[in-house]
Every structure is written in C-alpha cells, then in structure tokens.
Amino acid sequence: MATTITINVQNNSPSLQNFFFFQQPAIYTGGPEVYTNSLYSQALLPYATSGAILTFSLILQDYAGVQQQVTPPTVGKPSGQLSATQAINVTPAAGGTPTKNTTTMTVTPSLGLSSPVSTSGPQAGSFRIITPVYNPTLENYNAGSALQTLTGGVTLSNFVTAQPNTNLDCQPIRIFYVQTGNYTAGTVMNFTASSATAAVCDATPGYSSFSVVYNADGTWTIKPFAVVRAADGRGRLVEGTTATNAEVLNEAGTATISTGYVADGNFNPPILVQNLSHAAAINVLGEYQVGPIGGPKIGTTCIDKQGTSATFAP
C-alpha cells in the first residue's frame, strides 16, 4: 500500500477562506531559478457554523516531470500545457541498493520521459532527468519534481527551465505548506512570499498526517501525527511530540544518522525503528548504535529494512 501524506485544515476564522497547498522547492544542480506551483486550492467555510474540514492527500512517491512552456513562468499563470511524468526513485546513500533514478526526456515526435533506469551519477537523495538536444529559441520546457494526489492527478510541484543536452539532478524535499489565497493546481506562485506566514507541515521525520487550524487572528496551529505499529502489532496514530523517541547513530556513536519511533520505548533486541527520518541513510548489514534519544545505546547491525522502518540486532 502506498504511503500517503494527509493534511486536514480547519477554518476557525469567522468568514469563508480560500486555502492552497504547495511544497518546498527541491534542490537542483547548477543553481537555476526554481519555480513553484500550487498543488491544490479550495474554499472552506468557518468550522463553527459549518463543521467543515478540508482534506488534502497525496502519495509519497517521487515523480520526475517535464512540461511544455507556453510563456516564461509567471506568478498567477499556469506553468505550461503538455506534460509528461514518470514515477522515479532517488539515489540511496553510499552502499545502498541501486535504484531506478534516471529518466531521459524526449521532445520528438512529442514530449515524453523514458522509463527510469539505474545510473551512478546522481547524488544521494536525488534523481536525474537527461534532456535532449533542442533549440531553446524555438521551444522551452519545464523540468522538475511532481507529485500525485489520491485522486490520481499528477502536478508539477516545482521546476526549472530545462537546458538542452544536460543532466538535471533534482533532490525533493518533503515539506508542505498551507496558505490562504486562491492558486489553482498547476499555477505558478511566489514561494518566498507565500511561505513566510504559511502553516508548515514537515513530513521528513516520518509524519503522515497533519492537523492544521487557521485561527481567527491569522495564525496557525499545527499538530503532526505518525502512523506506527504498537508492540501488539496493531497500527495506531501517535502525535508528533511522542512519535520520535529513538535515534540511530553511526558505528562509532559520534553522529546521528536518523531518528525514529520504537513502540512502547522497548529497546530490547531485535529493535524495530519506525518512521525513520533518514531511511535512505540506513543500509542492511550496516553497523549502528541504537537507543533512546539522549539515552544509552547498544551496538547493532541492521538486519532488515522496509520503507521507513528498519530492524536492528546485536
């Protein structure tokens, strides 16, 4: 089953508000200007008079995306028209199992992206789009990171203007924002201005759900939650303040590799650490020190890893 991120918004102001959702721009090689699109927008009545909650859900699967530009990216305008996307994986940390992290863009006979293949070039945490030879004075293209909603639609989340015959590396960042305003999905927005006073939903620690309340004074109240497996094997939703109680250090114990959650604080081996904040940095058969945050650690080997969970044993 695909991992999802869900953001539930409650409007505690006295009037109807429009809300839109967007993602922190990825890190791109070469430092080109990065543009951001809105992912979703919807009006929401006051909770006190309607009981309405706005829910936005997306699938945590990275997508490479390219799009034909109609005009240069402009805030408030659609970013483009004809587009192509491919589900893709980011490069693992050194020693990790190779992933299909590279796709090739085509522009003739039409715009497209090839099925991803594994290459050794992209840095850890990034994927690569290889652009073809074309004449940018005749046609320009957007290229970058896309996301899929639960309804199946894929939107180019953030992008740069592609350059011909180059390798474009993109490192997605799983931080999302909610702001008041009306930018329909696929519309270019000003990330710097919009994010300054937005609600921040940081999914990098492994959180899968966020409660976001827009208060009457224009401030936000945000509570993150993580889905974890309890010691009895049952799933449960844990508030973010208690969902991070474990840390994984390098073999020498000198640096934190990742944080996570251990059910009921039971660190008796084998230790299942869930919701790893940096799962890509954990390698099966790697040596680590594991224990409670700020507490004693034991030397272990990672004996299994599934998604954002890993099992460690001496």
Q: What pTM did the predictor assign? A: 0.84
| CA dist., res. 164 & res. 184, Å (int) | 29
Question: Is 162 strand, coil or helix?
Answer: coil
Residue 115 DSSP code: P
Stated as kind and residue range, the H or E segment containing 48 is helix 47-50
Whole-angstrom CA distances from 132 to 23, 135, 167 are 27, 10, 9
Q: What is the pLDDT of residue 233?
A: 64
Which residue in this structure is represented by tokens 């006295």? Answer: 14
Q: What is the pLDDT of residue 238?
A: 76
Q: What is the pLDDT of residue 147?
A: 95
| pLDDT string in tens for the chain (314-residue length) | 467 899 999 999 999 999 999 999 999 987 689 999 999 999 999 999 999 999 999 998 999 999 999 999 999 999 998 899 999 999 987 777 889 999 999 999 999 999 999 999 899 899 999 999 999 999 999 999 999 988 888 999 999 999 999 999 999 999 999 999 999 999 999 999 999 999 999 988 778 899 999 999 999 999 998 877 666 666 677 777 676 789 999 999 999 999 888 887 889 999 999 888 888 789 999 999 999 998 999 999 999 998 788 999 99
Q: What is the pLDDT of residue 1?
A: 46
Q: What is the pLDDT of residue 230?
A: 64
Q: Whats the size of the chain, residue-wise?
A: 314
Each domain of the chain, given as residue ranges in start order, spans: 4-222, 244-313
* Residue 133 phi, psi dihedral angles, 5° rounding: -80, 130
Q: What is the pLDDT of residue 40?
A: 96
Q: What is the pLDDT of residue 111?
A: 96
Instruction: Report the candidate in 237, 220, 88, 231 with the shortest Cα–Cα distance to residue 154.
Output: 88
Question: Is 193 strand, coil or helix?
Answer: helix
| CA dist., res. 47 & res. 51, Å (int) | 4
